[in-house]
Amino acid sequence: MGHLPDGRVVFVHRTVPGDRVRVELTRNGERWARARLADLVVPGPDRVAAPCPHYARCGGCTLEHLDYTAQLDAKGRIVADALTRIGGFGTMPHLELRPSPAEWKYRNRVTLTLRRREGGVTAGFHALEDPAELVDVDERCLLPEEPIARAWGELRAGWGPGAARLPAGAELRLTLRANHAGEVLLLIQGGRGRGQPEALLERVGSLRAIWKASGRPGERPRLLAGREMEETWHGVTLDLLPGAFLQGNRAAAGHLHDAVLGELGDVRGKRVLDAYCGFGLYGLIAARKGARSVGIESDPTALQMAPSPRERGFTVLPGAVEDRCGEALPVELTVLNPPRRGVEPGVMEKLGAGTAERIVYVSCDPATLARDVRRLGGGFRMARLQVFDLFPQTARVETVLTLDREG
């Protein structure tokens, strides 16, 4: 974000604080504008050379040109600004920044788009300035873990002319996912028919399984070829279903999980609510440590991945948190780990009126975090604020906010 000579704010991708640039306006409003970088006149102090060969046009990541320490500082400011501006909080605890163990090749899951066009195939990420355009991206992309990058290169070489070994159709979404052992699966969304999954699996030695999504919400994808895989996630072994959510940065997620469990403290004999629990990581581990835990989750795929049989002391209520959290209360400790849209109306109010001594809120969107904490009302104080970088080279940020009941 910068300023034009007439004082208007202008938003320009691929710039950093301290840059002096010439820009080409792409959207010209009365109070603000959007522009594209035309010429870098004077580079800012935190500017670095972007190493990815696709970076000039690709929108897969947006901050490669910014020094990593500066990326962390910026993400901390984003969280603090949201809590101040949206949440209305004047005082906050010291903000603790937690960097990713790896700045590159950290993603255990990537989703790319494939388009068939006359004369060939384009497969990659959407363009930075034009989301309708697709940038062809090969295995040199620096975001995915090495097994995924290798599988992507082999897949591109093995899908045949016009990607004929994949299902038919003008556009497909292809998700590659790696487990703890470096095994990779492919999930295909869209298209018609099966394609030639057996022939494709033979030609792509890095793949262990090819799945096809049904296109119907909540329905399990169909295994076309290969075998089902397991995942070990923070000490829990589970079946790896391709559509279920797990954090995309395995190493950084481990630090985040440790932080959340550490904030719960000694859980022996306590009642714990794990809301938006996914496969139930926090509730399951709390139960192993002597708690009585209840998880709530609405995603059928996540529920299918949950370990079975259930361990003593941990149960999961299928359904929406706003519909079922009353059944789990009262509790002494609560973990909230909602999707980007945040917590549904009414949930924070119920927790505020309850008996919870501590709420640990795990957020992937600072704006909805600030809104939800404000909904909690009085009676709680922010005890600890930790910012985790699970998405280096992008503007996304993960926050762990600990809230303690006062009095």
The confidence score (pLDDT) of residue 54 equals 96
Q: What is the pLDDT along the chain (407 residues), one digit of tens a residue?
A: 888 889 999 999 999 999 999 999 999 998 999 999 999 999 999 999 999 999 999 999 999 999 999 999 999 999 999 999 999 988 889 999 999 999 999 999 999 999 998 879 999 999 998 889 999 999 999 999 999 999 999 999 999 999 999 999 999 999 999 999 999 999 999 999 999 999 999 999 999 999 999 888 778 899 999 999 999 999 999 999 898 889 999 999 999 999 999 999 999 999 999 999 999 999 999 999 999 999 999 998 898 887 665 667 899 999 999 999 999 999 999 999 999 999 999 999 999 998 999 999 999 999 999 999 999 988 899 999 999 999 999 999 999 999 999 97
Among 352, 317, 337, 335, CA closest to 265: 335
Domain chopping of the chain, boundaries: 1-47, 70-102+249-405, 109-229
DSSP one-letter string for 242-271: TTS---SBHHHHHHHHHHHHHHH---TT-E
Backbone conformation region of residue 144, classed left if phi is above 0, alpha if psi is from -120 to 50, else beta: beta
CATH class of 109-229: mainly beta
Q: Is the overall model pTM greater than 0.85, yes or no?
A: yes
For domain 70-102+249-405, is the CATH number 3.40.50.150?
Answer: yes
Helical (H) or strand (E) element with 285 = helix 281-288
The confidence score (pLDDT) of residue 301 equals 87
